[in-house]
Structure 1
């Protein structure tokens, strides 16, 4: 399986009469772009606003991030979701790098929606402050969801995916500036030299705690809560087979943008044939019932063992209840003789002194922390707000509370509410210092 991703580096985004890309400038015909958004009759109000790195701009409630892309070799983006079901992971995809489409609520937010600051201390919490963000700010006619803490946000998330594909289409016939090429060969085609290297699998634990469909992450359009752990080619993930869900405190979320730009996955592919034999990805889930957790951990162990893995990296999307899945899987793999490194965030309280994970194990002795969700942040006012600042305090943002917003526009918020601040895919610039 060979995947080519042709890159076009976006240096500026402006509005104009024709959607096009030229000399690093992405021009958007706003009227035409919004027609793509309004294809969903649930969306009753929409606008597109540009947020640039360094701007005195605060964006909230942010629901999803999608990289503008277009499949140029006859395939599709987001299979089983906004397009027909078919395999991805091969052929050529063109990507507008350095930019993302953000789905932002015009009014209503919720537990799973986050905040992005484009400058100041808050910008250090999330990688999206470094991107040119094309903000789809919209509202829907779904009155039943306005007062729900948990929102599916389907209309806005799907709208962001359609808009990202529309924008990506402007480079479908252009020659990319550079190309990333990803090879993943069947295991029986590996050379003897590669087979002699330590076999490593990547275990991606996706959020699936909601019993009702529409909230959880999806693989080829299938709700992750309804699947057993599955072995996949890394190329499939890097080409859009996984779509982010709408359940998870915002800082722990893995956005769709991050799934196709998963840096842990890319680094494993870079090491393939050099230091390791990267076998592929085991996509797992994070469940609510103990028997489901045990079953998933057992299946991950079985797949890793059958593949001949000697090492594994686990990325957990979330914390709290999912920590049990994380530790069960960690233990099972270690008990099978497979050495594990885990990647997760922590919930250690405002003072950092609480137990970091709900479940612990002596076997889990190699963990990369991506941050403390309870870290208390005080962020000054911004000149511009995209979306609605009141949503942080009013609608149950996982890091906000009733007094979060001050009269001058400054806020107090836990890291919990910062969009994708602690994602376990390597797409951030935080570091950990051991004292």
Structure 2
């Protein structure tokens, strides 16, 4: 499979008469873009804003991030979700870089929603503060879930995807500034030189714990709770096959933008044929029952062994219950003779003294930590808030609280906040964006 991604780099973004991209300037026709949003009758209120790095703007509750793209030759950017099913990972797409579409609730947040600061001290905690963002702030008539801690956020998430396709169309007929090419030879057709290199498989565990449909990550529109571990070409992940769900504490989430640009996949591609033989991706799942966790781990290990993997990287989306899947998978791989590295965040408590993962095993002896979800973050008031700051404390956002006997409320009267890292949007960046490092004492 050969995927060509033609890139267009945004130097600035403004509202104007026509949605177009020219000389690094992305112009959005706001009225036209909002019509795309309101195609769903469940959207009751909506507005669009532009925020840029350094702006003193706080966004909460943030629900999704998506890269604007178009598929050259026709077809949806997200097959099985925004249009008919088709194979991804082959052909050409155009992508609008250094920018994203952010989806923010106008009133109601939930367990899975987060916070982004575009400027000030808080900006360092999330990758998305570095981008020029078109922000959709909207509300829906999905009253049944407004006061629920868990929300499917269906109307808002799908509106974001439609918006990403609408904006992406403006570069369809333009010549890209740069073209990235991602191509892997079939595993059995690789040269002797490539086959002589250490072989590596990437195992991804997207969020799929909710047995009720509508919360989990999607693969070609299929709920990942319904899947068994599946071998996928890495190009499929980069090309719209994977959609972020609406479950899991927000710092642990992988947004759709994260899937579209998965840094770990791109890093493995960079080393392919030089230092490693990159076999591809095993897309696994995260389960609830112990036998389901064990079954998935056995499938992954067998698949990796059959592919001829010498080594593996396992990355989990989430923490807590998913840690059991994560460790079980690493142990099964090690038992199969495959040297395995794990990528995860951890929950060590606000004092850092708790057990970092729910499950541990001595065979899981090479794990990269992407941060402590319970670490306290205190941020000053922000000049502008898009969304509703009160949602951080009121609506059960992981990382926020209405009141604490010692710390008081997450949202103070002056607009300053105290919360756990849990509430930073995609803040732990297990996919590979992270700029965090360990601190020595």
Aligned counterparts, 1:297-376, within 5 A: 297-376=297-376
Structure 1, unaligned runs of 5 or more: none
**TM-score, reference length from structure 1:** 0.99
How big is each residue's C-alpha offset from its partner over 1:156-200, in whole Å with a ceiling of 9 and x where there is no partner? 001000000100000000000001100022112211111111111
Partner of 1:377: 377
1:405 and 2:411 aligned: yes
Q: Would the aligned equivalents of 2:371 and 2:428 in 1 still touch at CA under 8 Å?
A: yes
Query: Counterparts in 2 of 1:156-175, with a 5 A limit?
Result: 156-175=156-175
Q: 3-state SS of the aligned residue for 2:285?
A: strand
Q: 2-side partners of 1:130 and 1:214: how far apart?
A: 30
TM normalised by structure 2 equals 0.98
For 1:66, the equivalent position in structure 2 comes to 66
Cα deviation code 1:311-341 (max 9, x no counterpart): 0001110000000000000000001000011
Give, in angstroms, the shift of residue 121 of structure 1. Answer: 1.8
- 4+ aligned runs moved over 3 Å, structure 1: none
> For residues 55 and 45 of structure 2, what CA distance do their matches in structure 1 show?
25
Query: 1:238-260 deviations in whole A, cap 9, x for unaligned?
Result: 10100000001000000000001
Counterpart of 2:248?
Answer: 248
Alignment partners' CA distance in 1, 2:351 and 2:137? 35
Deviations 1:16-35, CA, capped at 9 Å, x for gaps: 11000011110000010011
CA distance in 2, matches of 1:434, 1:226: 43
> Do the aligned residues in 2 keep the contact of 1:233 with 1:281 (CA within 8 Å)?
yes
Gap regions ≥5 residues in structure 2: 403-408
| CA deviation map 1:109-131 (0-9, x unaligned) | 00000000011221111100101
Q: 1:426 aligns with which of 424, 428, 432?
A: 432
RMSD: 0.8
**What does residue range 136-215 of structure 1 map to in structure 2 within 5 Å?**
136-215=136-215
Partners of 1:86 and 1:248 lie apart in 2 by: 29
Instruction: Tell me the residue number matched to 1:17.
Output: 17
Q: Distance in 2 between matches of 1:414 and 1:14?
A: 34
Structure 1: how far apart are the matches of 2:245 and 2:348? 25
Structure-2 separation of matches of 1:198 and 1:343: 20
Confirm or deny: 8 A CA contact 1:311 1:338 kept in the other structure.
yes
- 3-state secondary structure, aligned to 2:400: coil
Cα distance in 2 for partners of 1:412, 1:213 equals 33
Residues 119-128 or 335-344, more deviating:
119-128
**Corresponding pairs, count:** 435
Is the 8 Å Cα contact of residues 75 and 88 (structure 1) preserved in structure 2?
no
The structural deviation recorded for 1:434 is 4.8
Contact preservation (8 Å) 1:60, 1:116:
yes
Q: Which residue of 2 aligns with 1:129?
A: 129
Check the 8 A contact 1:230/1:283 in 2, yes or no. Answer: yes
CA contact (8 A) 1:90 1:235 kept: yes
